Amino acid sequence: MLPIITGIIISYFLGSIPTAYLFVRAFKGVDIRSIGSGNVGATNASRVLGKGLGGVVLLLDILKGFLAVWMLGGFLIARGVSVPADVLRVLLGLACISGHNWTVFLNFKGGKGIATTLGVLLSLAAGSSGFRMVILLCLLTWIAVFVIRRIVSLASVVAAITLPVYMVLFKVSPVFIFTGILLTLFVLIRHKENIKRLLQGREQCITFGKSKTSA
């Protein structure tokens, strides 16, 4: 069990690397938690740094999730750990997302976890055609909602809610369906304030590089 516990701890610390905080601090000299939405994530980083550097933050946050599951998981599986490969990868993925959402480096105040969750899901889907269809449909759902409403949080919440639904429709592993439900709960918990603002019509829209309040 020691290699598994060690892997989970490493995965958590990998996820805990506050990419948005580090980039904003390095390029703007300010604390991202004190500006914009205060969220330590790629969307808020894009507001401060622009689309270019914001895109880099997004890719790095995706990469954290992918590396935790694909590389670290692959290494531990090759060592012959005592749990099924799918279960191990799920545990590592959840640990990485938890690190991003509640990073130890910033007093457990992190991002919303969407990009890192995507990285985890992409890695989990690598060996399953049905899972790849689930990811594709979730991405298309996110894009469709965002194009229609221009609200990142709304697109993320809707895509998260559809994740376990698509998993059931495509009959993926029960382990992954359970994981999908957990990830949906993660997203809803982290977007609690966004959901309140959405219901009140006060959530920010993104239009031509600027933000405005939703109608």
Sequence-ordered list of residues with C-beta below 8 angstroms from that of 49, at least 6 positions apart, any chain: 23, 24, 27, 28, 57
Of 108, 98, 110, the closest CA to residue 20 belongs to 110
**pLDDT at position 205:** 84
Task: Find the radius of gyration of the CA atoms of the chain.
Answer: 17
pLDDT score for 209: 47
Quote the pLDDT of residue 208.
44
pLDDT of residue 206: 73
> Could you count the other beta carbons within 10 Å of the beta carbon of residue 189?
12
**Residue-level pLDDT, tens digit, the chain, 215 residues:** 888 999 999 999 999 999 999 999 999 999 999 998 889 999 899 989 999 999 999 999 999 999 999 999 999 999 888 889 999 999 999 999 999 999 999 999 999 999 999 999 999 998 778 899 999 999 999 999 999 999 999 999 999 999 999 999 999 999 999 999 999 999 999 999 999 999 999 888 875 444 555 43
In this structure, are residues 54 and 28 in contact, taking their beta carbons and an 8 Å threshold?
no
Proportion of the chain above pLDDT 70, given as a percent: 96
Instruction: Tell me what pLDDT residue 129 has.
Output: 83
pTM: 0.90
Nearest to 134 by CA among 152, 59, 126, 105: 126
Taking alpha carbons only, the member of 57, 82, 85 closest to residue 72 is 85
Q: For position 213, what pLDDT does the model report? A: 52
Note whether 210 and 122 are within 8 A (CB): no
Residue 36, pLDDT score = 83
| pLDDT at residue 143 in the model | 96
What is the Cβ-side half-sphere exposure of residue 196, based on CA atoms within 13 angstroms? 4
Query: What is each CA distance from 120 to 117, 159, 171, in whole angstroms?
Result: 5, 15, 19
Q: CA angle 84-87-90, nearest 5°?
A: 150
Q: Contact, 177 vs 167, CB < 8 A?
A: yes
Question: Which pLDDT belongs to residue 128?
Answer: 79
- Domain extents in the chain: 1-111, 128-215
List, as one string, the DSSP characters of 82-124.
Answer: SS-HHHHHHHHHHHHHHHHHT-GGGTT-----HHHHHHHHHHH
